[in-house]
Amino acid sequence: MGGGSGGGPADGGPGPELLAVVHLTRVLEPGDETCGRWVRELGAEEVLERLRGRGPQLAGVTHKRWAGLRARTERAEPERDLAVARAAGVRFVRPGDAEWPAQIDDLGDARPLGLWVRGPASLRMWALRSVAVVGARACTEYGAHMAATLAAGLAECGWVVVSGGAYGVDAAAHRGALGAGGATVAVLACGVDRPYPRGHTELIGRIAEQGLVVGELAPGEHPTASRFIVRNRVIAALTRGTVVVEAAYRSGSLVTARAARRLGRHTIGVPGPATSALSAGVHELLRADAVLVTDAAEVVELVGDMGELAPERRGPVLPRDLLDPAARHVLAALPARGAVPADGIARDAQTTEDDAIARLYELRSLGYVERHGDGWKLTRQAMLSVGADRGRC
């Protein structure tokens, strides 16, 4: 067991402070700021002593709630949890350990007591260059495609893709990163030794082999609706930014995006059809202060270091784009239909008649105009080119 899961008395067993923290992961619910304040102000060992009845009740909870916490305290077995974790290849990482990601501390009193980590890589090192990709569970084919493509592109650029291991966008993001031979982290709302959802047992096992599976709940703990919501704050805190791919108005992935915004992280959205209810939540983010992206390069430009810019996007270069500006002005002065004398063309192009005639002969040699008596008109080739250009905003 690495990090905070070892290092105690002379016999090599866990020390009292570690045991107290592990004990409390069974007792306190994730994200509870009142309990987090207790631990910050008194330390895990003192909080545990109070919960064991050795001292007065701590402030901020009702007598009924305190009784419930004390009942949980009596049932917890930290030595057993550490042994179960060790057998499953899981380590416990806590604040102060070398592997602890310092950016998690931005959560303040809502910070996890520690994180159970399954997988060979260093969580701290991977979190330094990571992006969250989250979204709808019941996503469309478009949402799955965008999530997988973004994740693969991020992985190819050396970024770690973090998501929640759920169906839909989460799974597509994990698979996209894995398929590109990249790194991915699944942050679960249950014990990391029990894959959830069950249908993702193989996927989460693969993530544990090639990436990391992380959670703040003790081994064997089950997920609940509230635990999914508070889990999202960890995804937001771990990463430099959160990309939302498809989310309805009440989607849990919007909780992750809002947590990212509160923490000063980048909030990013992938647009969908204006008529899609599954993209309505993303569009609300974009109407606020989220940044619109369409590919991995644009995400990296936001979250990456200075100089990691997305390539400049431009439409196709048309032959008329290569003309001299003066020649383009003369060409644009010709109407779509009919022939016009040179003096009329010069007037509309705001040049002299001699200059207009010179440009017209140049344009004739390139196949854009033809002469009809005393007038000039566009060729069919030029009509298509000018028509396309006039259709642009």
Residue 379 near residue 369 (C-beta atoms within 8 A): yes
Please tell me the predicted confidence (pLDDT) of residue 5.
54
- What's the average model confidence in pLDDT over 19-44? 97
d(CA 369, CA 365): 8
Asked if the model's pLDDT at residue 215 lies above 70, the reply is yes
- pLDDT tier at 310, thresholds 50, 70, 90: low
- What's the average model confidence in pLDDT over 141-157? 97
Residue 265 near residue 148 (C-beta atoms within 8 A): no
Residue 133 near residue 243 (C-beta atoms within 8 A): yes
Please tell me the predicted confidence (pLDDT) of residue 3.
47
For residue 76, count CB atoms less than 10 angstroms from its CB and return exposed for 0-12, middle for 13-18, buried for 19 or more. middle
Question: What DSSP letter does each residue of 237-297 carry, written as one string?
Answer: HHSSEEEEES--TT-HHHHHHHHHHHTT-EEEEE---TT-GGGHHHHHHHHTT-EE-SSHH
Domain 319-390 coded CATH 1.10.10.10: yes
Strand order of the β-sheet with 90-93 is 90-93, 115-118, 212-215, 184-187, 160-163, 130-135, 241-245, 266-270, 291-292
Amino acid sitting at position 83: A
247 Cβ partners below 8 Å, 6+ apart?
A: 134, 135, 136, 253, 254, 257, 278, 279, 280, 281, 282, 285
Asked if the model's pLDDT at residue 10 lies above 50, the reply is no
Please tell me the predicted confidence (pLDDT) of residue 385.
59
Across-strand partners of 130?
Answer: 160
Please tell me the predicted confidence (pLDDT) of residue 287.
94
Q: Where are the domains of the chain?
A: 3-86, 119-303, 319-390
Please tell me the predicted confidence (pLDDT) of residue 334.
87
Whether the bond into 101 is cis, omega within 30 of 0: no
Question: What DSSP letter does each residue of 67-115 carry, written as one string?
Answer: HHHHHHHHH--HHHHHHHHHHTTEEEE-TTSTT--GGGGGGGGGS-S-E
Q: In the structure encoding, which two tokens stand for residue 162, read together?
A: 């973090």
- pLDDT tier at 2, thresholds 50, 70, 90: very low
Q: Which fold has domain 119-303?
A: Rossmann fold (3.40.50)
173 Cβ partners below 8 Å, 6+ apart?
A: 133, 134, 147, 148, 150, 151, 161, 163, 184, 245
Please tell me the predicted confidence (pLDDT) of residue 4.
52
pLDDT in tens, 228-248: 999 999 999 999 999 999 999
Amino acid sitting at position 250: R
DSSP H or E segment with residue 21: helix 16-27
Q: In the structure encoding, which two tokens stand for residue 285, read together?
A: 């983010």
DSSP H or E segment with residue 188: none
pLDDT in tens, 59-116: 999 999 999 999 999 999 999 999 999 999 999 999 999 999 999 999 999 999 999 9
d(CA 384, CA 390): 10
Please tell me the predicted confidence (pLDDT) of residue 315.
63
For residue 232, count CB atoms less than 10 angstroms from its CB and return exposed for 0-12, middle for 13-18, buried for 19 or more. buried
Please tell me the predicted confidence (pLDDT) of residue 390.
45
Asked if the model's pLDDT at residue 192 lies above 90, the reply is yes
* pLDDT above 70 as % of the chain: 90
Maximum distance among all alpha carbons in the chain? 108
pLDDT in tens, 314-350: 666 566 777 888 998 898 898 888 899 999 999 999 9
Please tell me the predicted confidence (pLDDT) of residue 8.
46
* 13 compared with 176, residue with greater pLDDT: 176
Amino acid sitting at position 223: P
Q: What's the mean pLDDT when you consider all of the chain?
A: 90
Asked if the model's pLDDT at residue 36 lies above 80, the reply is yes
Residue 383 near residue 392 (C-beta atoms within 8 A): no
